[in-house]
Structure 1
Amino acid sequence: MTPRANGSRAEEQRQRILAAAVGVFSRRGYRATSMNDVAAGVGLSKPTLYHYVATKQDLLVQVYEQVLDESLASARTIVAAAATPLDAVRGLIVERVAYTCEHRDLLKICFEEESELPPELAEPILERRRAFEAVVHDAVEAHLAHTGTDLGMPTRLYVNTCLGAANWAYKWFRPDGPLTPRELGERVADVQLAVLQR
């Protein structure tokens, strides 16, 4: 066995553990979940689980890091590929709605368990969130500067409204409904972009 193979297998096991934790946290809530529950969810003994993760809190932090790192990377890619600032804003809104609908278990944890993070662990996560929000804010500002549009409200308020609507979709989106996550994202974007195109 090469070190690369060992590392790859260990990472695969960590991802399985994280997926199991997401499932259990989402169903039972973080506080009501024990490491025994996570171990059972992934089919490992508790001592083996502790070989890969030190605490339940570490798993919660990893959930936040995964969501925010994926969101930030995706947002930067969308902005870099957009033909215009307005296209960038549309792409960001559509993607945020779609991601939220496609990862409802993850988003449920992120929005409902934040109080479980102690301040020293919460601050780096908040920095990631602010970085993501800054990408959206800058795209809106670029559009306003490009078109001379008067938004009629602070840009931060507009961005928070857009993201709030997108993020809340984890509560009410139904996979068996008439729209796919991306189609829903397009509809939400149509409504929100109307403010930018007055």
Structure 2
Amino acid sequence: MATRGAAGSARGTRADEQRQRILAGAVAVFSRRGYRAASMNDVAAQVGLSKPALYHYVANKQALLVAVYEEVLDESTARAEAIVASAPSTREAVRRLLVDRVAYTCEHRDLLTICFEEESELPAELAEPILERRRAFEDVVLGAVQRHLDESGRTLPMAVRTYVNACLGAANWTYKWFDPAGPRSPRELGEDIAAALLPVLDG
């Protein structure tokens, strides 16, 4: 029994690894060609699989796009929750969230390009669960900001969600203009953007 379980676990691990390889290949193809122009043949060629073998792991191109969104949003939420849990203060939690979001965006520009530019390709029934995941991530950031305001007794000159959306918009837009060959690393750029946004919390 134990041997069979171990074998099943190994098969599961190999299948998971293959799906991750396919997802990475899809990201490369979608970011290079655009989702609409890309085909499952392109993805299969990218990862060195036959088209029938590819369909063994993923139902269709739309399912691949959904998987990209799920991967980014689930990872983003997990990172944000870990940052909030480990920060020594509520203000530092907000600062670290902003720095990390900029760094993540700059370091995963292919992924974020797909997420920000291909959302209209998802039908409503598939888009809604993705929007729920996005709200879950945004709520982690909003909660961190609100806890800092409650703790410090400060108020914002705008709705808290407006401030959070403005911060995330500034962080996310770096996928468009960040230059990997520029003078600032992703994390240094995150520090710069956080330094520009945090004074609103301290006012």
TM-score tier (shorter): over 0.9
Q: What's the % identity of the aligned pairs?
A: 70
Query: What is the aligned residue count?
Result: 198
By how many angstroms is 1:197 displaced? 1.2
For 2:84, what is the secondary structure of its paired residue? Answer: helix
- 2:115 corresponds in structure 1 to 110
Distance 2:149 2:15 in 1: 47
* 1:184 counterpart residue number: 189
The Cα shift of 1:7 comes to 1.3
Question: Which residue of 2 is the match for residue 58 of structure 1?
Answer: 63
Q: Name the SS of the counterpart of 2:80 in structure 1.
A: helix
Which of residues 38, 44, 59 is equivalent to 1:39? 44
Alignment counterpart, residue 127 of structure 2, candidates 110, 115, 122: 122
Q: Note if 1:69 corresponds to 2:69.
A: no
The partner residue of 2:169 within 164, 173, 178 is 164
2:155 matched to which residue of 1? 150
Q: TM-score, normalised by structure 2?
A: 0.96
RMSD over aligned Cα atoms: 0.9
Give the Å deviation of 1:157. 0.7
What letter corresponds to residue 107 of structure 1 in structure 2? L
Deviation, 1:150, is 2.4
Which blocks of at least 5 consecutive residues in structure 2 are unaligned?
A: 1-5
Aligned to 1:197: 202
CA distance in 2, matches of 1:71, 1:85: 19
1-structure distance, mates of 2:15, 2:120: 30
Distance in 1, matches of 2:154 and 2:24, equals 44
List runs of 5+ in structure 1 lacking aligned partners: none
Q: Distance in 2 between matches of 1:150 and 1:35?
A: 51
Between the aligned partners of 2:121 and 2:196, the Cα distance in structure 1 is: 34
Superposed structure 1 runs of 4+ greater than 2 Å apart: none
CA distance in 2, matches of 1:42, 1:22: 11
Instruction: Show CA shifts across 1:104-153 (max 9, x none).
Output: 00000000000011111111111110011111111111111111222111
**TM-score, structure 1 length as denominator?**
0.98
What's the secondary structure of 2:59's corresponding residue? coil
